[in-house]
Chains A and B, each alone.
Chain A
Amino acid sequence: MINPAELETELPYLQRYALAQLRDRDAANEIVQETVLAALESGDSFSGKSSLRTWLTSILRFKLIDRLRRKGKEVLFASLDEETDDSDFDGLFSKDGHWQERIKAWSGPEESMMARQFWDVFERCSEVMPRRTAMAFVMREVMGLEIAEICNNLEITATNCSVLLYRARMSLRECFEIRWTGEARA
């Protein structure tokens, strides 16, 4: 059985997870509520073998992807052409394709610290990412879905998917870099 008090302590985590995918606070809250209701209804199936958080997250993941399927993609997304153009990274490379600036090691962050700050960095950084790009990243790197599943969920080709992931990684890397090398200097 689920303890409601314990369940409540997981709400902020679930909200962040949903927000990373939906980027809309109302929609995120709504889906978190649905998740909690579903959890309470099927509380008997929670064996306690996995942690409560893991179990709730699996329900939430299912709901997020299901929502995407139901809502249809047209409403959610702008033209794919714009999203799969990687010319915005031109400035990072010289004409012959070499890095303009030296890539510095992130000496500051311990790995565990990065994980704790991941949501913060992602939330801020993904605000400027096209929506589908951010979604592809969450599905791949946060949820750990395979490419075929992501293509299917977003109705895009594997080639487009790999461009979206490339763009998301490039942007996010810069966000982490600003965070880590900035703090190191301060």
Chain B
Amino acid sequence: MKINCRQASRLISQGLDQPLSQWDHVRLRMHLWMCGNCRQFSHQLQLMRQSARKAGRGE
């Protein structure tokens, strides 16, 4: 059931591209709930996406 940060980082990235399976989704949620580092990591990937999309729109 439990996943480590490395596995979580892969799921976080995957989740940006396609919906995760229910099982992976729950495992990731549980991990993020406990792990500040991975919450931060996830937030940073979102920031990167937003800035990339803005750059792509010429903003």
Contact = CB atoms under 8 A, between A and B. Distances in A.
Please tell me the size bucket of the interface on A. Answer: 35 or more
A162 B19 CA distance: 12
A173 B1 CA distance: 28
Which applies to chain A's interface (DSSP): helix, strand, loop or mixed?
helix
B58 A115 contact: no
A17 B6 contact: no
Contact of B52 (A53, A109, A116, A142): A142
A54 B57 contact: yes
Contacts, number: 104
Contact of B53 (A17, A53, A122, A144): A144
Interface string B16-59: 11100000000000000000111011011101111111111111
A57 B54 CA distance: 13
A93 interface: yes
Given A97-B5, A169-B48, A142 B37 contact: no
Given A96-B4, A103-B40, A172-B48, A165 B54 contact: no
A176 B17 contact: no
Contacts of A161: 17
A76 interface: no
Contacts of A102: 37
Contacts of B44: 103, 106, 173, 176-177
Contacts of B58: 13, 51, 53-54, 57
B10 A173 contact: no
A77 interface: no
A99 B59 CA distance: 34
A96 B16 CA distance: 25
A111 interface: yes
B7 A99 contact: no
Interface in A142-169: 142-144, 147, 158, 161-162, 165-166, 169
A170 interface: yes
Interface of A: 13, 17, 51, 53-54, 57, 89, 93, 96-99, 102-106, 109, 111-112, 114-119, 122, 137, 140-144, 147, 158, 161-162, 165-166, 169-170, 172-173, 176-177
